[in-house]
Chains A and B, each alone.
Chain A
Amino acid sequence: MRRPAVHVDFRAKLAVFALMFVLSALLIHDVSVCLAMLFMTLYLCAQSFYRAGIVYFLTGCTIAFLRSLPGVEGITILLPDVLLFAILRITLVIMAAYAMMRMPPGEITAAFMKMRLPSALALPITFMLRFAPTVRGEFRTVFAALRMRGLLSMTHPLRTFEYTLIPVITRSTVLSDNLAASAELRGISNPGIHSSLRLIRFQKIDSLLLLLAFGFSAICLYIDRWVMT
């Protein structure tokens, strides 16, 4: 029997996301970033996102290894170290965002309502989180159709840009209308008090997770600033 995943409250996930964002900007050494990634892998695995956790962690370790190789230092114009530096830190942030993007939109909306965030901001952000994981698929479908028709060409960049962008806009419009209709059907614009089938409560596990996240971040910063230098 499969063990049920740990349920983490949206607000705790948001706090972890912000923490990782700040950490990615503060950490200087790649080893400490990889250490933070290890924590995020455990965090993702605890929520049953095993594949994503392991893939992102291995990607991070590979980038850190490439940066450690001699000869990849930045040279005036070509700066591979800056690129790898950015990708490594962005991967850490993506790991934190992944857990949020995989949440049911209804739960995010309910959490935002509990946070008393104005609907003018809560609704677009909810739709953003719902849409973000599908963007890659949208572009892939459009590129596949263009490739099949032989319309992908580097010799006509503007035409390729037009042929790519117009279907993406059209598909996104249809998707946004469908998502809005679905939300309307569930009574999202009802001015009354909204109820949710899901329990939106900051539980002990969320407090424990935040404590661990802050503790691990402090360890990473300590290693980064005092042990590595």
Chain B
Amino acid sequence: MASSQNKESTRLSVRNYATIGIFSVLMIILAIAVAIPAMSVLYFSLFISSPLIAFLSAPLFTFMVLKVHKRGTVLIYCLIMAILYLISGTPYLAAWFLLSALLGELAMTGRDAYKKFARITISWIICSLFRATNGMIDIWFFSKQYLASGVSKAHFNQVVHFYYSAPWILLILLLTAIGASLGGLVSTKLMKKHFVKSELLR
């Protein structure tokens, strides 16, 4: 009886799906709230937007993973993102996010990984890096469509200059990884200070 209850508890429940869905919405809205105003300033949108989103969304991701603390949480979160990209007419980004889902979940393998802050942060860094490359993929493979979509030539030239340069790409990815790591660090403190203390998270 006890073992069957334990077996049951490792599966994702309706409550867990609700948590994943609701926190995914919060992360998407936070990302949009940062990304849209960032579009008006070129260097901000290129270098600051992704690291800032990675930093600000980290507590939401950490809380979601700790609250559910079951295998498959990261996978489902990334799959939701992939579905959104698929619906939005960018199946190549959906495929890209499938890879992110697999790697993000792979980072959470091992016993009690879903309860370890370090592992959650690693998984978040992977997800953030994949998200940061979205714009680059658009430029690398669909530059004609990007230019034809109505953006000014000045903007396009600047973006191309940075996205076709390996050092700049590495800098963007490095900044994103730093943003996600700092976000993970702050999340750990916030979770311990507020939710572990109040026993909302165990």
In contact, A79 and B39 (Cβ under 8 angstroms)? yes
Which chain A positions have C-beta within 8 A of B200? 170, 173
A21: which of B21, B89, B151 is its contact (CB, 8 Å)?
B89
With A125-B83, A169-B60, A172-B23 in contact, do A180 and B14 touch (Cβ < 8 Å)?
yes
Q: Does B154 interact with chain A (Cβ within 8 Å)? A: yes
A21 to B152, CA, bound (A): 21
With A28-B150, A76-B42, A78-B41 in contact, do A128 and B21 touch (Cβ < 8 Å)?
yes
B154: which of A14, A76, A188 is its contact (CB, 8 Å)?
A76
Q: Does A5 interact with chain B (Cβ within 8 Å)? A: no
Which chain B positions have C-beta within 8 A of A196? none
Which chain B positions have C-beta within 8 A of A56? none
**Which B residues between 87 and 130 are near A, CB-CB below 8 angstroms?**
87-90
A10 → B minimal CB distance (Å): 13
Q: Does A165 interact with chain B (Cβ within 8 Å)? A: yes
A165 to B7, CA, bound (A): 34
A18, A82, A170, A184: residue with the most chain B Cβ atoms closer than 10 Å: A82
A169: which of B40, B59, B151, B158 is its contact (CB, 8 Å)?
B59
In contact, B25 and A131 (Cβ under 8 angstroms)? yes
- Give A51-92 as 1s and 0s: 1 = Cβ < 8 Å from B's Cβ atoms: 000000000000000000000011111111111011100100
In contact, A128 and B59 (Cβ under 8 angstroms)? no
The binding surface of chain A is classed by DSSP as helix
For B, the interface residue count at a CB cutoff of 8 angstroms equals 51
In contact, B25 and A82 (Cβ under 8 angstroms)? no
A125 to B63, CA, bound (A): 19
In contact, B17 and A83 (Cβ under 8 angstroms)? no
Q: Does B50 interact with chain A (Cβ within 8 Å)? A: no
Residue ID in chain A nearest B148 by CB atoms: A28
In contact, A82 and B21 (Cβ under 8 angstroms)? no
A73, A80, A179: residue with the most chain B Cβ atoms closer than 10 Å: A179
Which chain A positions have C-beta within 8 A of B37? 83
B14 → A minimal CB distance (Å): 5
In contact, A120 and B190 (Cβ under 8 angstroms)? no
A74 to B158, CA, bound (A): 11
- Give B164-196 as 1s and 0s: 1 = Cβ < 8 Å from A's Cβ atoms: 000000000000000000000010001000110
Chain B residues within 8 Å of A, Cβ to Cβ: 12-15, 17-26, 29, 32, 36-37, 39-43, 56, 59-60, 63, 67, 72, 76, 79-80, 83, 87-90, 145, 148-152, 154-155, 158, 186, 190, 194-195, 200
Further pairs besides A82-B40, A124-B21: 15, Cβ < 8 Å: A28-B150, A29-B150, A79-B39, A79-B41, A86-B39, A123-B14, A124-B17, A124-B20, A125-B80, A128-B80, A131-B21, A162-B190, A180-B19, A183-B18, A184-B14
Chain A residues within 8 Å of B, Cβ to Cβ: 14, 17-18, 21-22, 25-30, 73-83, 85-87, 90, 93, 119-121, 123-128, 131-132, 135, 158, 161-162, 165-166, 168-170, 172-173, 175-177, 179-181, 183-184, 188-189
